[in-house]
A = this chain, B = another copy of it.
């Protein structure tokens, strides 16, 4: 049964205890201790996937020939090529992208990290990006940070480990440290930031003109006779919050309205905070007659609060949101909102990353693409007869 690994004798073998759970043997003849290599204890063998070598063996050619045939390389005779392609189908060959990526040092995959998945905004961007990328033969590896800095760092680590060729990212609202993104650039992997960008880093960005969108929204409220306009703002560290706040402020200033600090409250984009701060605003001694919210979910929360308090919208309270989520059209008489070109945003980011991937120098000039917004006017902000 058991033969000595050294002298091949069988008759002189005796058991000699265990090593790490494996039977140890002693050959009395040559005084040699050994254990059996575990390969000889055939466990459940993985099903074998057909490889390029299987095809080569099948046809008696070399694997390089097979590789060439499979890739439409010019220097190959039509006959062998035909035979190889047929064998590939017959053996149900599926190329191993992992091996390919390893040798080419590129994965044909770009990663995208978004803070959340539950509003329409990010899924729409993803769909836009995916269209462009898949047309270019790239895959998209989608990750969500769940608005958590730690998860985001984990996401970047995973994408880095998977050697994505590029990264498209919108930051979590907790993110104040950018080393994990810089790690990509340090390795020559291009990064395109969109929507939630920051000022500190990032040479390639895709954003909307938040300032102008906010400005027009507030201007529209003023034109509809609202005079005491509050702003439910986003987190201070996000550029989108800052820009929307700036639009709000400057619109008030342009029309000679006072900018009252007590009417701007910074939330965190969630409805939970919106409920608290919205209630606070509406219960002020001298409450606002309109609220410009940093996004649609919070604007909708304001509408619900108003309804609960018996405030008539738009007569007693005007409300404007930002993004044009699909709910905006349907709630009440409609929510006026600043529409963002979500799909286009994804497409633009994808095109930019493809461009950066193809130029392997990063000599490509820094670039921030600014997309335009559109004010969608609905029932929540239009007072008749003024």
Q: Which residues of A contact B (CB under 8 A)?
A: 44, 46-47, 49, 92, 94-99, 101-102, 105, 107, 117-118, 120, 123-124, 126-127, 130, 134, 139-144, 146, 154, 157-158, 160-163, 183, 186-188, 300, 304, 326-327, 330-331, 360-361
In the assembled complex, the CB of A362 is this many whole angstroms from the nearest CB of chain B, namely: 10
**Contact status A92-B330, CB under 8 Å:** no
CA distance A92 to B46 in the complex (A): 34
- Check if B102 sits within 8 Å of A98, measured CB to CB: yes
Task: Report how far A271 CA is from B154 CA in the complex, Å.
Answer: 38
Q: Nearest-CB distance from A68 to chain B (Å)? A: 15
In the bound complex, do residue A49 and residue B187 qualify as a contact, i.e. CB atoms below 8 Å apart? Answer: yes
Decide: A161 and B96 in contact? CB cutoff 8 A: yes
User: Is A97 in contact with B327, judged by CB distance below 8 angstroms?
Assistant: no
Q: A330 CA to B134 CA in the complex, in Å?
A: 36
Chain copies in complex: 2
A97 touches B161 (CB 8 A): yes
Least Cβ–Cβ distance between A130 and chain B, in angstroms: 7
Tell me the smallest distance from the CB of A52 to a CB of chain B, in Å.
13
Docked-complex contact B144 and A130, CB < 8 angstroms = yes
Q: Cβ of B163 and Cβ of A98 under 8 Å apart?
A: yes
- A70, chain B: closest CB distance, angstroms: 13
Chain B hits for A330, CB < 8 A: 300, 304, 327, 330-331
Say yes or no: A142-B142 contact (C-beta < 8 A), given A157-B94, A330-B331, A331-B331: yes
Decide: B98 and A44 in contact? CB cutoff 8 A. Answer: no
In-complex Cβ contact of A124 among B101, B118, B161 (8 A) = B118
Give Cα A158 to B104, complex, Å.
17
Which B residues are in CB contact (< 8 Å) with A360? 44, 46
24 residue pairs A–B, Cβ–Cβ below 8 Å = A44-B361, A46-B105, A47-B187, A47-B188, A49-B105, A92-B186, A94-B157, A94-B183, A95-B161, A96-B161, A96-B163, A97-B162, A97-B163, A98-B162, A102-B102, A117-B123, A117-B126, A127-B144, A139-B162, A140-B142, A141-B141, A304-B330, A326-B327, A327-B327
Residues in B with CB closer than 8 Å to A188 are 46-47
